[in-house]
Amino acid sequence: MSGSTSIVPHASYPAQLLTVAGHALAQLVRTPSHSRRAAAARKLARHSLWLSAAGAALVIVLMLAFDRAEIQLMPARGTPALWPIRILTDFGKDENVLSVLGVALLIVALVAAAMHGTRRALLLGFGTRLQYLFLSVAVSVFVAEILKYLIGRGRPFVGGKADPFNFIPFEGTGAYTSLPSGHAVTAFALAFAVAALWPRLRVLMFTYAIVILLTRLVLLAHHPSDVTAGALVGMVGAMAVRYWFAARRLAFAIQADGTIVALPGPTPGRLKRVARRPSAP
C-alpha cells in the first residue's frame, strides 16, 4: 500500500476499495526501480551467507553436544503446571501472528477506501509497513514448511528415547516436523521486521522472540538446534523481504553502501488523529 493511489471523484466505496486493494498488490510486483538495489543485493547475499554458515555450524554443534542433554532436563510433556507456558507459546504461532496482521491489513484497506488526500496517504503508508510485516512472516514460514518436510526430524522423545538424530525425510507428519521450529521462525521474522521499521522496539521484540524460543524447549516441542535453525530462517527471510521492498522504494531506502534503512513513517499520534476525523465527502 502507498499514498499514490489515483482517486476517481465521486467513485463508489466498493470502487475505492478495489482501487486501494489493487494498488497494494501492484506495488509489490512492480519492476524494481531503486538505483542502488545492486549494492543492497550484494550486501544481502553477503550477510545471508555469513549468517547461514554460522547458524548451520551452531546447529550441528548443538545436535552433537547439547540437544540430548537439554531435552532430558525439561519437565515431562503434558505437565499440568506448564499451562501458562502453553498459553504464552501461542503468541509465536504462525497462524495467530498472520491472522492478526492480516486483519490489521484488511482494516487499513477498509478505512482508507473511505478517505482521501493526506489522510488516505498517511494510512496507506502504515499499510505498506503492515504488508512488510505480514510478508516477512509468511515467506519465512513458507520456506520453513518446505524444510520441515525435506528434513523430517523427529520431535524430542518421538520413538520413545532422547535421540537427536531421529530423521525420516519426507515423512510429513507433525511428529517429524521438528527442524526448523515454526514458532521460532515466526517470532524471529516478526522481531527482525518490526526492529527494521522501528529500531527503538528492537530490544522488546527480540526479547519476545527469545521468550517464544524458550517456551518451545520447555514444552519439549523442539530441540535447541531446532529453535536455532528457526531463528536463522526467520531472520534471513525477513531480510530478503526487506530487500524486496527497498528495491521498489517501499518503506525503506538504500544508502550508497547498500545499507537498507527505514523511511520515516506515520507516527501513532498522527494515526490516532486520522482515526478520529470524519472522512471527507
Q: What is the mean pLDDT of each run of 10 residues along the chain (281 residues)?
A: 54 85 89 92 95 95 96 92 96 97 95 84 92 98 97 94 93 93 98 97 98 97 98 98 96 95 75 52 35
Query: Which residues on neighbouring strands pair with residue 253, listed in sequence order?
Result: 261
Quote the pLDDT of residue 277: 55
From residue 108, how far is each of 2, 16, 34, 250 by CA, in Å? 11, 13, 26, 17
Closest among 248, 243, 245 to 259, alpha carbons compared: 243
Q: What are the beta bridge partners of residue 132?
A: none
Q: How far, in Å, CA of 61 to CA of 57, rounded? A: 6
- DSSP lists the bridge partners of residue 184 as none
pTM of the predicted model, to two decimals?
0.90
Radius of gyration for the chain, computed over Cα atoms and rounded to the nearest angstrom: 21
Report pLDDT for 268: 56
Can you read off the three cell numbers belonging to residue 5? 493511489
DSSP label at 153?
Answer: B
**pLDDT given at position 279:** 44
- Given this model, what pLDDT does residue 160 score? 87
**pLDDT score of 10:** 62
